[in-house]
């Protein structure tokens, strides 16, 4: 899979791809990440990428040309299944969107900044608008990283235990059951006996039951879906 991220603050995006599962996925060539600085696509000498909004109103708006130049160049080189704009007014990110995107070959993620991007970018180029929640951040870079992380961990080979991603909370509209590791007894707080029994059928039934109970208590809305 190839992910191209377009940003006016590209240095915000680098670090998470240099450690742990994301770095390993890149090293194993499971995913390619290409980060593009929108200023490199600005036409004028000042490398201007934002301007005042027509009709007044506070704040600056990301201009159409640098973004269009970058997206056009990428789309001439290969086909992209999704051009995603990270925005608080987009569709709220869910596990099923992550699953869907993890099946695609090439995606572009555009990060907003300032008051947003020129609406024509959304009209002409973008086919998915994604929000990571009902709150407003200073830009789309952190949301883009959230999206990348949630997709990359689903790619075959990126996690050492491939069954892990499938047993995540939300994969079947259930929260994951509680998990434990050594010691089996911490100052009288014991791991449930069943997990130490070695009986795999009983353990699996217990986990399923716990997943239901936890979902009922914490996120009953998921059970209605
Ligand atoms: N940009 C600013 N806030 C955002 C959010 N909640 N989701 C996606 N992009 C954003």
Q: Whose CA is nearest to atom 9 of ligand 1?
A: 87
- Numbered ranges of CATH 3.40.1280.10 in the chain: 2-152
Average pLDDT of the segment spanning 30-39: 98
Are the C-beta atoms of residues 92 and 142 closer than 8 Å to each other?
Answer: no
Region for 63 from its dihedrals, namely left if φ exceeds 0, alpha if ψ lies in -120 to 50, beta otherwise: beta
pLDDT at 161: 72
Question: What is the DSSP track for 8-66?
Answer: S-GGGTSGGGGSHHHHHHHHTTS-EEEEEEGGGG--STT---EEEPTT--SSEEE-HHH
Determine the distance separating the centroid of ligand 1 and the alpha carbon of 6, expressed in angstroms: 15
- Numbered ranges of CATH 1.10.1270.20 in the chain: 167-223
Average predicted confidence (pLDDT) for the chain: 95
Substitution site in 13, 132, 150 for ligand 1 pocket (most atoms within 8 Å of beta carbon): 132
The answer to whether 168 is a known catalytic residue is yes
Average pLDDT of the segment spanning 16-21: 97
pLDDT at 113: 86
pLDDT at 164: 67
Average pLDDT of the segment spanning 160-179: 81
pLDDT at 136: 95
pLDDT at 162: 59
pLDDT band at 137 (very low <50, low <70, confident <90, very high): very high
Average pLDDT of the segment spanning 63-72: 97
Of the options 3.30.420.310, 3.40.50.10800, 2.60.40.10, 3.40.1280.10, the CATH number for the domain spanning 2-152: 3.40.1280.10
pLDDT at 170: 84
Of 56, 39, 58, nearest in space to 48 by CA = 39
Average pLDDT of the segment spanning 126-150: 97
Are the C-beta atoms of residues 160 and 30 closer than 8 Å to each other?
Answer: no
pLDDT digits (tens, 9 = 90+) for 85-111: 999 999 999 999 999 999 999 999 999
The answer to whether 115 is a known catalytic residue is yes
Average pLDDT of the segment spanning 162-174: 76
Average pLDDT of the segment spanning 115-133: 96
- State in words which class domain 167-223 has: mainly alpha
Average pLDDT of the segment spanning 68-97: 97
**Residues within 6 Å of ligand 1 by CB:** 86-88, 112, 131-133, 135-137, 139-140, 143
pLDDT at 171: 80
Provide, rounded to the nearest whole percent, the portion of the chain with pLDDT above 90. Answer: 88
Specify the pTM.
Answer: 0.94
- Say which of 88, 113, 122, 143 is annotated catalytic: 88
Substitution site in 5, 13, 62, 86 for ligand 1 pocket (most atoms within 8 Å of beta carbon): 86
- Say which of 100, 115, 129, 149 is annotated catalytic: 115
Substitution site in 87, 117, 138 for ligand 1 pocket (most atoms within 8 Å of beta carbon): 87
């Amino acid at each position: 899979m190839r992910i191209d991220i377009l940003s006016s603050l590209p240095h915000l995006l680098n670090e998470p791809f240099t450690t742990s599962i994301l770095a390993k996925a890149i090293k194993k060539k499971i995913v390619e990440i290409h980060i593009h600085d929108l200023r490199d696509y600005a036409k004028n000498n000042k490398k201007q990428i934002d301007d005042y909004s027509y009709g007044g109103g506070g704040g600056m708006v990301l201009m159409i040309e640098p973004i269009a130049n970058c997206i056009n160049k990428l789309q001439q080189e290969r086909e992209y299944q999704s051009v995603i704009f990270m925005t608080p007014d987009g569709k709220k990110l869910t596990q099923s969107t992550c699953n869907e995107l993890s099946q695609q070959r090439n995606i572009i993620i555009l990060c907003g900044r300032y008051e947003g991007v020129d609406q024509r970018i959304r009209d002409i180029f973008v086919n998915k608008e994604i929000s990571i929640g009902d709150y407003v951040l200073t830009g789309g870079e952190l949301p883009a990283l959230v999206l990348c992380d949630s997709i990359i961990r689903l790619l075959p080979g990126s996690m050492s235990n491939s069954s892990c991603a499938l047993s995540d909370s939300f994969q079947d509209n259930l929260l994951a059951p509680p998990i434990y590791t050594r010691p089996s007894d911490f100052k009288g707080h014991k791991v449930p006996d069943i997990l130490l029994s070695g009986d795999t059928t009983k353990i699996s039934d217990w986990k399923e039951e716990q997943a239901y109970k936890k979902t009922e208590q914490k996120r009953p809305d998921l059970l209605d879906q």
